[in-house]
């Protein structure tokens, strides 16, 4: 396994924001991408300490977390199994999971909801099995994500991140407070009705100081897009040479650009967007990007 990754900070070209940077956690690894590596790091050490040989986790059929767990397990010499939500499907993400040696168990949406009982039912008797929650959500994941802050300059005014469960955001906020920074954390949820993310963060940290949620950039909900998001994404990638994904990171970048146009920032503000990775997921959205035959 690799240790001590310090992902690069790259400046973006933006006419209104001369101090806009992107923290390239997507470059940590193509498969154990971005925040999923940060979230797994201390879970893997815990599994090792407890002498567990088999990671068992949960996710949807396009989950970046499943792919990250599969790749991380194979590199650490561990077995991996995933409970996949919903009917049996074949896709590129699950194919990659299987190539990394992951066993897939498809479960209907009702059974999927009770993860502890699924784990008990299949692996209750297996002393090697190590439970990892959906998306890697855990205190260990918060600790891993807090380390991102230690890799950044101390004078950043605004840090932006996309959110699903809010675990990554909780870690960033923890890091900001641990270092006593004045930085504001801006969270852009990828799903609709995501006010729960503030509660999630509160549950981990017992406060939500210096946090702002921008709940209006979900584009219809989780994994939903609109033509304006796809257009933005194509322009962004062409102009910056940085790939973003339609589920998370494009929505975050769209929010920053939109807020800039609405004069939300001061011109001299230093802004860092966290690239949380997730680029393999684009494979599942080919239809939106492939050229039509002429
Ligand atoms: C999983 C994921 C997120 C969401 O992270 P949470 O910690 O669940 O909020 C954000 N961006 C990408 C690319 C992801 O794969």
pLDDT at 281: 83
pLDDT at 3: 60
Give, using CA atoms, the residue closest to atom 15 of ligand 1: 278
CA–centroid distance, 294 to ligand 1, in Å, is 36
Rounded CA-CA distance 27/263 in Å is 31
* Helix (H/G/I), strand (E/B), else coil: 165: coil
Rounded CA-CA distance 259/157 in Å is 15
Residue 185 CB neighbours (<10 A): 26
Among 136, 159, 175, the domain boundary falls at 136
Q: What is the pLDDT of residues 62-79, one digit of tens each?
A: 999 999 999 999 999 999
Ligand 1 atom closest to residue 162's alpha carbon, by position in its atom list: 10
Among 101, 136, 171, the domain boundary falls at 136
Report the chain's C-alpha Rg in angstroms: 19
Average pLDDT over residues 281-288: 82
- 48 and 189 assigned to the same domain: no
- Looking at 136-253, which runs of residues are DSSP E strands? 158-163, 184-189, 211-213
CA–centroid distance, 27 to ligand 1, in Å, is 15
Residue 35 CB neighbours (<10 A): 34
pLDDT confidence bin for 287, thresholds 50/70/90 = confident
What does the mean pLDDT of the chain come to? 96
CA–centroid distance, 251 to ligand 1, in Å, is 12
- Is the minimum distance from the CB of 168 to ligand 1 under 6 angstroms? yes
- 66 and 176 assigned to the same domain: no
Give, using CA atoms, the residue closest to atom 13 of ligand 1: 278
Ligand 1 atom closest to residue 26's alpha carbon, by position in its atom list: 13
Phi, psi of 154 (to 5 degrees): -85, -5
Residue 51, in any domain of the structure: yes
pLDDT at 89 over 70: yes
Phi, psi of 287 (to 5 degrees): -55, -25
- 203 and 270 assigned to the same domain: yes
pLDDT at 283: 81
- Is the minimum distance from the CB of 249 to ligand 1 under 6 angstroms? yes
Q: Write the CB contacts of 180 (distance below 8 Å, at least 6 apart in sequence).
A: none
- 71 and 203 assigned to the same domain: no
CA–centroid distance, 274 to ligand 1, in Å, is 11
Q: What is the pTM of this model?
A: 0.96
Q: Write the CB contacts of 255 (distance below 8 Å, at least 6 apart in sequence).
A: 160, 186, 188, 214, 217
Structural domain boundaries, residue 147: 9-29+139-290
Mutation choice for ligand 1 from 34, 35, 64, 245, CB with most ligand atoms inside 8 A: 35
pLDDT at 31: 95
Lowest mean pLDDT among 120-134, 202-216, 225-239, 272-286: 272-286
- 159 and 192 assigned to the same domain: yes
Among 136, 162, 186, the domain boundary falls at 136
- 279 and 153 assigned to the same domain: yes
């Amino acid at each position: 396994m690799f240790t001590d990754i310090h992902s690069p900070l790259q400046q973006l070209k933006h006419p209104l924001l001369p101090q806009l940077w992107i923290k390239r956690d997507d470059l940590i690894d193509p498969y154990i991408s971005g925040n999923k590596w940060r979230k797994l790091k201390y879970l893997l050490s815990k599994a090792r300490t407890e002498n567990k040989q088999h990671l068992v986790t949960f996710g949807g059929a396009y989950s970046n977390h499943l792919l990250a767990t599969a790749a991380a397990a194979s590199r650490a010499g561990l077995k991996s199994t995933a409970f996949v939500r919903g009917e049996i499907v074949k896709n590129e993400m699950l194919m990659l999971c299987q190539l990394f040696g992951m066993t897939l168990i498809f479960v209907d949406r009702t059974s999927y909801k009770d993860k502890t009982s699924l784990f008990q039912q299949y692996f209750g008797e297996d002393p090697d099995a190590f439970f990892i929650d959906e998306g890697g959500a855990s205190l260990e994941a918060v600790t891993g994500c807090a380390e991102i802050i230690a890799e950044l300059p101390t004078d950043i005014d605004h840090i932006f991140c996309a959110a699903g469960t809010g675990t990554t955001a909780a870690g960033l906020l923890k890091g900001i407070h641990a270092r006593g920074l004045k930085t504001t954390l801006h969270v852009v949820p990828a799903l609709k009705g995501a006010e729960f993310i503030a509660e999630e963060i509160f549950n981990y940290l017992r406060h939500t100081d210096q946090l702002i949620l921008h709940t209006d950039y979900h584009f219809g909900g989780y994994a939903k897009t609109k033509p304006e998001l796809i257009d933005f994404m194509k322009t962004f990638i062409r102009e910056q040479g940085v790939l973003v994904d339609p589920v998370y990171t494009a929505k975050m970048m769209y929010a920053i650009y939109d807020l800039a146009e609405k004069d939300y920032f001061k011109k001299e503000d230093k802004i860092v967007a966290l690239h949380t990775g997730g680029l393999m997921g684009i494979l599942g959205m080919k239809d939106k990007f492939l050229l039509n035959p002429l």
